[in-house]
């Protein structure tokens, strides 16, 4: 399993309701991608959210997003700034990546 965690900070001019709606739309679009199991967001403060997306393998995050997902990403980006992205792997996939690097 692989997980991407994206941190988003609301732009000063963005409406909170629109920010939350854009995050929800992005999560719904991400769930339509091949190999993606789940995508949800959490409020971490009134001006920040975290989007957590789970996939069957890290390769699911390497594919080119479809038009609907890109549209949702740009809608979210209009209202918020991506401040950090973390890409997590389970131990099995991490070990496989290490071994494929010739270690």
Query: How many domains does the structure of the chain reveal?
Result: 1
Packed helices 16-31 and 67-79: angle between N→C axes, nearest 10 degrees? 160
Decide if pLDDT at 33 tops 90. yes
Q: Tell me the mean pLDDT in the region 21-42.
A: 97
**pLDDT value for 90:** 82
pLDDT band at 1 (very low <50, low <70, confident <90, very high): confident
**pLDDT value for 58:** 86
CATH code assigned at 34: 3.30.70.100
Give 58-100 pLDDT, tens digit per residue: 889 999 999 999 999 999 999 999 999 999 988 887 888 889 8
As a whole-number percent, the residues of the chain with pLDDT over 90 amount to 81
3-state secondary structure 1-55: CEEEEEEEEECCCCCHHHHHHHHHHHHHHHHCCCCEEEEEEEEEECCEEEEEEEE
Domain enclosing residue 23, as ranges: 2-100
As a whole-number percent, the residues of the chain with pLDDT over 70 amount to 100
In angstroms, rounded to a whole number, what is the distance separating the alpha carbons of residues 48 and 67? 25
């Amino acid at each position: 399993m692989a997980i991407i965690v994206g941190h988003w900070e609301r732009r000063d001019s963005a409406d909170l309701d629109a920010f939350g709606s854009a995050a929800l739309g992005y999560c719904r679009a991400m769930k339509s991608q091949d190999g993606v199991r789940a995508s949800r967001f959490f409020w971490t403060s009134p001006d920040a959210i975290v989007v957590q997306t789970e996939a069957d393998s890290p390769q699911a995050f390497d594919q080119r997003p479809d038009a609907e997902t890109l549209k949702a990403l740009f809608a979210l980006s209009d209202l918020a700034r991506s401040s950090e992205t973390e890409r997590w792997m389970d131990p099995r996939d991490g070990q496989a990546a290490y071994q494929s690097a010739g270690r």
